[in-house]
């Protein structure tokens, strides 16, 4: 494993645990809601629940009545579990990341044509914040979206777009990549929608002709690949991450002269 900068040279990376008040004390803070009215009984219920979760001598540091018989709690205390950091492997997108200007220059030099990406929030998802952050010119958090990238044709279809319509637009434009944003994820609706997207692409015979990417707050690269996508982009990823991956994959797959 590569060298890791730690808080102290005495850290045992095979047995790491949380730091709260002092090193290695295992102190953690958690929050949750119980379906009971606020009161001493509710606080005791929260303490008992935290104990069942492995917290030793938990303290209820905050409790708040949410109305109609619900109470929100913040609980603090030590746990004894440890994690072997040296055995952790995270499946992630493996590609060099270039900034916006570098992406445009790289595309011109190595592909020599405009690359097209079509994206939307699909299914019942009415939230555009994710797809807009990646595609819209203004972008998000100081990172411009794909519409501002040179040599990139970014087509944002908005929200609540049926998978069939997104695929049809990608076929019409002979897109290099389809981008699917999933913000609403209650009851794993994003899993069902993303699975359907892959199935429809396979049925249309385009799965091997276009990159299929998804993103959202509960999306990881590992989950995306399990569902049949080429890559997944979760929190703290921006347009340059998506563009860098797509343009390098186009070259790697021999799609430079795609027709």
Instruction: Write out pLDDT tens, residues 95-141.
Output: 899 999 999 999 999 999 999 999 999 988 888 888 999 999 998 88
Confidence of residue 8 (pLDDT cuts 50, 70, 90): low
Task: Report the distance separating Cα 168 and Cα 203, nearest Å.
Answer: 12
Asked whether residue 258 is domain-assigned, the answer is no
The confidence score (pLDDT) of residue 2 equals: 52
Task: Report the distance separating Cα 136 and Cα 220, nearest Å.
Answer: 22
Task: Report the distance separating Cα 83 and Cα 3, nearest Å.
Answer: 18
Task: Report the distance separating Cα 62 and Cα 53, nearest Å.
Answer: 18
**Are 10 and 71 members of one domain?**
yes
Q: How many CB atoms lie within 10 A of CB 156?
A: 23
Per-residue pLDDT at 9 exceeds 80 = no
**Are 81 and 110 members of one domain?**
no
Asked whether residue 259 is domain-assigned, the answer is no
Quick one: what percent of the chain has pLDDT higher than 90? 77
* Burial letters 84-123, b for 16+ CB under 10 A, else e: eeeeeeeeebeeebbebeebbebbeeebeeebbbbbbbbb
Query: How many structural domains does the chain have?
Result: 2
Alpha-carbon torsion, ordered 125, 243, 133, 217, to 10 deg:
50
Per-residue pLDDT at 1 exceeds 80 = no
Name residue, tokens 């998802």.
125
**Are 116 and 164 members of one domain?**
yes
Per-residue pLDDT reduced to its tens digit, 52-65: 999 999 999 999 99
- Averaged pLDDT of the chain: 93
The confidence score (pLDDT) of residue 79 equals: 95
CB 215 within 8 Å of CB 130: yes
Active site residue 187: no
- The tokens of 185 are what? 């994820």
CB 120 within 8 Å of CB 127: no
CB 251 within 8 Å of CB 143: no
Per-residue pLDDT at 5 exceeds 80 = no
The confidence score (pLDDT) of residue 213 equals: 97
Range of the domain at 51: 1-88
Quickly list DSSP for 124-162.
T----HHHHHHHSTT-BTTB--GGGSTTEEEEE--SSB-
Question: Exposed/middle/buried for 42, CB within 10 Å: 0-12, 13-18, 19+?
Answer: buried
Confidence of residue 84 (pLDDT cuts 50, 70, 90): very high
- The pTM of the full predicted model, rounded to 2 decimals, is 0.78
Asked whether residue 51 is domain-assigned, the answer is yes
Pairing of strands 177-181, 211-215: parallel
User: What CATH number has the domain bearing residue 231?
Assistant: 3.40.50.280
Per-residue pLDDT reduced to its tens digit, 161-211: 999 999 999 999 999 999 999 887 778 888 999 999 999 999 999 999 999
Query: For 112-116, 144-148, 216-220, which range has the lowest pLDDT when averaged over its residues?
Result: 216-220
Asked whether residue 257 is domain-assigned, the answer is no
**Are 113 and 69 members of one domain?**
no
Question: Cα angle at 128 between 180 and 152, to 5 degrees?
Answer: 60
Quick one: what percent of the chain has pLDDT higher than 70? 98
Of 28, 57, 88, the domain-final residue: 88
CB 111 within 8 Å of CB 256: yes
Active-site residue, selected from the candidate residues 17, 87, 92, 138: 138
């Amino acid at each position: 494993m590569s060298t890791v900068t730690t808080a102290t040279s005495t850290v045992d990376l095979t047995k790491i645990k949380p730091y709260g008040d002092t090193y290695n004390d295992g102190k953690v803070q958690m929050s949750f809601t119980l379906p009971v009215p606020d009161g001493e009984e509710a606080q005791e219920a929260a303490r008992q629940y935290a104990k069942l979760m492995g917290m030793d001598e938990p303290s209820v540091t905050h409790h708040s009545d949410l109305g109609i018989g619900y109470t929100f709690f913040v609980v603090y205390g030590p746990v004894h579990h440890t994690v072997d950091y040296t055995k952790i492997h995270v499946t992630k997108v493996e590609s060099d990341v270039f900034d916006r200007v570098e992406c445009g220059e790289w595309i011109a030099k190595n592909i020599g044509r405009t690359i097209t990406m079509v994206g939307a929030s699909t299914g019942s998802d009415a939230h555009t914040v994710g797809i807009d952050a990646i595609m819209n010119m203004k972008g998000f958090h100081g990172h411009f979206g794909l519409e501002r990238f040179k040599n990139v044709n970014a087509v944002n279809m908005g929200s609540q777009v049926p998978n069939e319509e997104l695929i049809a637009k990608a076929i019409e434009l002979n897109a290099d990549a389809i981008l699917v944003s999933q913000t609403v994820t209650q009851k794993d609706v994003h899993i069902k929608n993303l699975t359907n997207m892959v199935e429809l692409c396979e049925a249309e015979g385009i799965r091997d002709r276009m990159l299929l990417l998804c993103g959202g707050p509960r999306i990881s690269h590992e989950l995306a690949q399990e569902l049949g996508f080429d890559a997944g982009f979760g929190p703290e990823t921006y347009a340059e991450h998506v563009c860098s991956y797509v343009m390098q994959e186009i070259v790697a797959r021999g799609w430079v002269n795609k027709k």
